[in-house]
Amino acid sequence: MQRIFLSGLLTLFMLLHTPARAQSLESFLADPAFTPASIGICITDVATGETLVSHNDRQAIIPASTVKVITSATALRLLGSDYRTSTTVGYTGQIDSAGTLHGTLVIRGGGDPSLGSAYGSRPAEEFVDRVIDALQTQGIRAIEGPIVVDNSLFDGPAVSPKWMLEDLIWYYATGCHAFSYRDNQVRIEVRYNGHNYKTARITPPHSIDLDSWLLPGDREEVSVTHIGNRYTLTGTIPRQWARYRLDLAVDHPDSLFLRELHKQLKQAGIACTEAGQTTEGGPETQLLDYPSESLAQLARSLNVHSLNLYAESLLRHIALASAPRGSAEKGLETIRSYWQPLGADSTELFLYDGSGLARNNRVSARYLTQVLAATARDPQVGETFVQSLPLAGSEGSVASFMRNSPLPGELRLKSGTMSDVHAYAGYYTAPSGKRYTIVLMFNNYTCTRTQLKEKIAAWLTATLSKKE
């Protein structure tokens, strides 16, 4: 009798709350700001797979950086949380009795995006210091031969052919190489001296040659051109701005490393010739094996800071799971074939990179949901992946989103933004421990981004507060 009574209460609860939930979604979507918009929404119960809220969840729309959810989840499931790659240093030739290496010093890139990274757990200069230590331990006091960087582990173009040309000069669109260093970018800071803008700092120091012709003006109109490692800045900066900063992509990150290495070699008293750019054959003696951070650490940095370089590197490591060289093309092919048998319909996925920068990317809310749900249930990497996503109201690009929300439980979301695009993909874990997937994608809305975030926050709070 008690069982029948409880069953009746459950049925009554569902009857009362399901229409309210549907009406809440209907009212939310009736906002005039969404009239021309393409919107995909999907909220499911991770444990049961039940769909609780959905709208156009099979429509493939622009996801922006929520693509990183697919890339990082695939990498973790295929390679494991403890996966690491290595950058190795070795030499060919012989070391004479005076400590002179007659041969080639070879640095082989292992596809480690955290090498010298500002987002890594190790000091940026540590790798160069370890190279110097390895040379001194081997008794090498001079290098009579070239120093070369081997980038052969990765194949194909360093940037997606679908990326916009105007993006390629900026830090977020830097190329992905087997040897990446210091996030493949430089920071230029200029300061107004009363007449024009002078270079105040370049980070890393001495990494590029710079010609700056910036002048005070009425508005910000800055143009950047470069040939190799020589950059030229022209244009105007609003005269009320005393300082100005640009973060720029570097085409050849090995040049950043070689400049830094030569400087440190000189300070250590190790004489060397000019760096070469071609590899040399012959047996190689290894001096140093420098492992990357674990994949769990890389995924965490990637998702919290939305690092395109990290995502593109992991895409190529996904390819390396079944190929001798890592390419974006093979990585994308692997993603499509991997998720199809797990319920993610590949006809709802149009993917051209691992980071989400390509505006040609399209994915459905349902596809993202299937990836999220399957990964959360994975006993090996599920919790690692969930914790890799930034905590709403506290971390990364969602640090201010729902900061003062009364919503109980824990909301972890990867955001995705570009012009006319705003998206979230992640999880809500209720106080009871019950977990839900959250996917929200908005294209071509007419309100401001701030207003959109406020609308989403209010609707999410009302919807998720009902979850136990």
Residue ranges of domains in the chain = 21-82+295-464, 86-156+254-291, 165-249
CA 255 to chain CA mean position, Å: 22
% residues pLDDT > 90 (the chain): 86
The radius of gyration of the chain from alpha carbons, rounded to an integer in Å, stands at 26
β-strands 100-108, 142-144 pairing: parallel
Phi-psi region of 221 (alpha: psi -120 to 50; beta: other; left: phi over 0): beta
**pLDDT tens for each residue of 208-252:** 889 989 999 999 999 999 888 889 999 999 988 999 999 999 999
Take residue 385 and report the two structure tokens written for it.
Answer: 């992946």
Distance CA 93, CA 282 (A): 8
DSSP string, 196-252: SEEEEEEESTTSSEEEEEEEEESS-EEEEEEETTEEEEEEEEETT-SEEEEEEE-S-
The class that CATH gives domain 21-82+295-464 is: alpha beta
> Which residue type does 419 have?
S
CA 94 to chain CA mean position, Å: 41
Q: At residue 151, what are phi and psi to the nearest 5 degrees?
A: -105, 15
Residue 459 has pLDDT above 90, yes or no: yes
Tell me the pLDDT band of 283, cut-offs 50, 70 and 90: confident
% residues pLDDT > 70 (the chain): 93
Cis peptide before 204 (omega within 30 of 0): yes
Nearest to 413 by CA among 445, 391, 430: 391
**pLDDT tens for each residue of 141-154:** 999 999 999 999 99
Take residue 83 and report the two structure tokens written for it.
Answer: 């996966």
DSSP string, 105-146: EEEE----TTTT-TTSSS-TTHHHHHHHHHHHHTT--EEES-
Contact predicate 413/425, CB 8 Å = yes
The class that CATH gives domain 86-156+254-291 is: alpha beta
Distance CA 57, CA 348 (A): 10
Distance CA 421, CA 61 (A): 9
β-strands 197-203, 435-443 pairing: unpaired
Distance CA 197, CA 223 (A): 14
Take residue 356 and report the two structure tokens written for it.
Answer: 């989400």
Residue 274 has pLDDT above 80, yes or no: no
What is the per-residue pLDDT for 234? 94
Contact predicate 293/50, CB 8 Å = no
What is the per-residue pLDDT for 405? 87
Nearest to 410 by CA among 420, 423, 395: 395
What is the per-residue pLDDT for 335? 98
**pLDDT, average across residues 88-112:** 96
**pLDDT, average across residues 195-206:** 89
Contact predicate 199/207, CB 8 Å = no
Take residue 457 and report the two structure tokens written for it.
Answer: 């926050």
Nearest to 68 by CA among 261, 410, 315: 315
Residue 2 has pLDDT above 90, yes or no: no
What is the per-residue pLDDT for 314? 98
